[in-house]
């Protein structure tokens, strides 16, 4: 990467605070979490910094964007903790940490374009209820296990069976919605932000998008993305565009 900026200037203090909250949630699940940062100066009136992370508990990619006050060219993987420590919320700025060796997921991100809206995602209230139901089911089923059967292998088996279930009439696994909720993406919506890159107009607060073998649950506060299991071996590494929230 060339031209690494030493400083990121956000559009306002709220953007800095929201990014800090996202990084704190990632670190809650992985104290050594890394994030990939991408931004490009493409002449757009408004530029965003895309922040990609992968909380290990959910096996999904999480994407959070922050509006920038000044254009930058950036593509780097850094420590989530160091980036969080560098954020000055009141000053709406952050220092770009030194690069780190990226984990494998950082080299294989969702495609930049080709996203189309898909059917089957339930309304927001039903989506929240579905996540709450499977969380409760996992808790009950694991607590009911006899002590001698409460092994990591058995817990993982129950988790795979529950979290791989589809949401509503869609192909999106429940774990993507659970991750979105745990990372603060399924909050009460202040305003719907249309994703013009997806070519879907203004679909509402939560939208299911598809591109190739990728599925993406998009909300105004961030996205979670997963790949279809059958396509894991056939994807090429592609750079990702800074998506709108």
DSSP 188-222: PPSS----GGGT-----SSEEEEETTEEEEEETTE
Using an 8 Å Cβ cutoff, are 7 and 93 in contact? yes
Token match 């579905």: residue?
A: 130
Q: Tell me: do 120 and 230 sit in the same domain.
A: yes
pTM for the model: 0.81
Q: Tell me: do 168 and 71 sit in the same domain.
A: no
Q: Tell me: do 99 and 145 sit in the same domain.
A: no
Q: Tell me: do 130 and 159 sit in the same domain.
A: yes
Lookup: tokens for 57:
């508990």
pLDDT along the chain (245 residues), means of 10: 70 96 95 94 75 92 94 93 96 95 90 91 91 93 91 90 92 94 78 37 73 94 83 32 41
Q: CB atoms < 10 A from the CB of 78, how many?
A: 19
Q: Tell me: do 91 and 149 sit in the same domain.
A: no
Distance separating alpha carbons of residues 178 and 140, to the nearest angstrom? 17
Number of domains in the chain: 2
Distance separating alpha carbons of residues 130 and 120, to the nearest angstrom? 13
Residue that finishes a domain, picked among 107, 140, 172? 107
Distance separating alpha carbons of residues 177 and 161, to the nearest angstrom? 15
Token match 């605070």: residue?
A: 17
Please tell me the predicted confidence (pLDDT) of residue 4. Answer: 56
Residue 243 inside a domain? The answer is no
Residue 147 inside a domain? The answer is yes
Using an 8 Å Cβ cutoff, are 219 and 212 in contact? no
Residue that finishes a domain, picked among 52, 79, 107? 107
Residue 240 inside a domain? The answer is no
> What range defines the domain where residue 182 resides?
116-234
* Closest by Cα among 6, 78, 19, 66 to 39: 66
Residue that finishes a domain, picked among 57, 76, 107? 107
């Amino acid at each position: 990467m060339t031209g690494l900026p030493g400083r990121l200037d956000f559009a306002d203090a709220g953007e800095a605070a929201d990014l800090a909250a996202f990084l704190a949630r990632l670190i809650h699940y992985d104290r050594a979490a890394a994030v990939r940062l991408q931004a490009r100066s493409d002449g757009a009136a408004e530029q965003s910094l895309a922040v990609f992370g992968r909380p290990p508990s959910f096996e999904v990619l999480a994407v959070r964007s922050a509006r920038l006050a000044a254009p930058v060219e950036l593509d780097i993987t850094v420590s989530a903790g160091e980036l969080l420590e560098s954020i000055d919320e009141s000053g709406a700025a952050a220092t770009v940490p030194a690069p780190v060796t990226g984990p494998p997921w950082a080299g294989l991100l969702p495609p930049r374009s080709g996203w189309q809206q898909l059917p089957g995602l339930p309304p927001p209230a039903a989506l929240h209820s579905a996540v709450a139901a499977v969380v409760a089911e996992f808790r009950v089923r694991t607590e009911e296990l006899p002590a001698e059967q409460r092994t990591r292998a058995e817990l993982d088996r129950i988790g795979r069976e529950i979290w791989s279930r589809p949401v509503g009439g869609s192909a999106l696994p429940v774990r993507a919605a659970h991750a979105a909720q745990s990372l603060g993406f399924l909050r009460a919506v202040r305003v719907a932000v249309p994703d013009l890159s997806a070519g879907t107009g203004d679909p509402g607060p939560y939208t299911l998008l598809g591109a190739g073998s990728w599925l993406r649950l998009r909300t105004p506060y961030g996205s979670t993305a997963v790949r279809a299991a059958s396509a894991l071996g056939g994807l090429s590494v592609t750079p990702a565009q800074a998506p709108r929230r």
